[in-house]
Amino acid sequence: MKASLTMPLALLLGVSAQNFAGGGMGMDDGGADEDGGMGMDGGGAIPSVRAPPCFWTSPGGASFNLQGMKQLGHDFTGTTAGGYTYRFNMCGGTVKVCNRQPAPASKWRGTKCNNLGDMQTQEISLIDEHDASKGIRLAYRDGDICKKQVSGQMEIGSREVIYEVECDRGADPGVLQKIVETSMCDYTILFKSKHACPTNGSSGSKGWSFVFLVVLAAGLYLGVGIGINKYKFGLDGIETVPHISFWRQVPGLVKDGVTFSVAQSKQGAEYVQQKYLRK
């Protein structure tokens, strides 16, 4: 497993680019979350929580394996201009646990933190339902409580986080693009990874399916036709091929077509030369 994950772009919330690395992050001391969440000190006894699955197959048959993105000794991290550090992981909770509760992502300021989702609520979908090669989206809900504005009213809700992982075969384990706080309780983490690319070559699966159907249809055509001609009409040898009289004409038809195309091309070239090239 690689020890770092580079971030080439500045985070949307105003942070300059920094390396992803476990432990070596700048964090401000003290303070609860700015949106009124129940920030608590991390650490303490950690309950055992079943990790979400790393493998997923889309309704269209595209398979994904996220195991290569799982971090063991450190978390993926990004720090915003407001002094908040986001930690997140794949196929399990963050290495540094917030509020003694394993979670896929957390938001820190000093020793205060908030979990942004519950691992058991993981939902995976395609970024583009019509093109599996674009990557996948992972959503987690039921994180720590927070206050948010709904139709002008302040309400208590739970935090939610979405990972949008774009397929990039050159990014291993991944490259952060930006972290977006879409609302007071909702967060979106955008990054690229080769592990968000289908593992079964699904982008070309439709083409191969068409080829398979064509070959299957041709086999059925010949098999059934030869059987009928041989056992029903008593034909032998080449005569058993269905529509043999037509197939015998095919070479001549192809030759005529090529001859006609060549003649037309020559006429077109002569016309262009006479009209535009000769003075």
Q: What is the pLDDT of residues 149-172, one digit of tens each?
A: 777 778 888 999 999 999 998 888
Q: How many CB atoms lie within 10 A of CB 172?
A: 15
pLDDT category of residue 28 using cuts at 50, 70 and 90? very low
What's the Cα-to-Cα distance from 81 to each of 13, 15, 17, 183, 214, rounded to whole Å? 7, 5, 11, 17, 58
Q: Which amino acid, 154? A: M
Question: Does 37 score more than 60 pLDDT?
Answer: no
pLDDT at residue 39 greater than cutoff 60: no
- The pLDDT score that the predictor gives to residue 245 is 84
d(CA 241, CA 238): 6
CATH number of 4-200: 2.70.130.10
Q: What is the mean pLDDT of residues 182-188?
A: 86
- CB 7, CB 175: distance < 8 Å: yes
pLDDT at 41: 47
Residue 115's pLDDT band, with cuts at 50, 70 and 90, is very high
Q: CA 27 to CA 108: how far, in whole Å?
A: 8
Q: Is 103 exposed, middle or buried (0-12, 13-18, 19+ CB in 10 A)?
A: buried
Please indicate whether residue 225 or residue 75 has the higher confidence score (pLDDT): 75
Q: Are 187 and 48 in contact (CB under 8 A)?
A: no
Answer whether 3's CB lies under 8 Å from 20's CB.
no
Average pLDDT over residues 175-194: 87
Q: Is the pLDDT of residue 276 over 80?
A: no
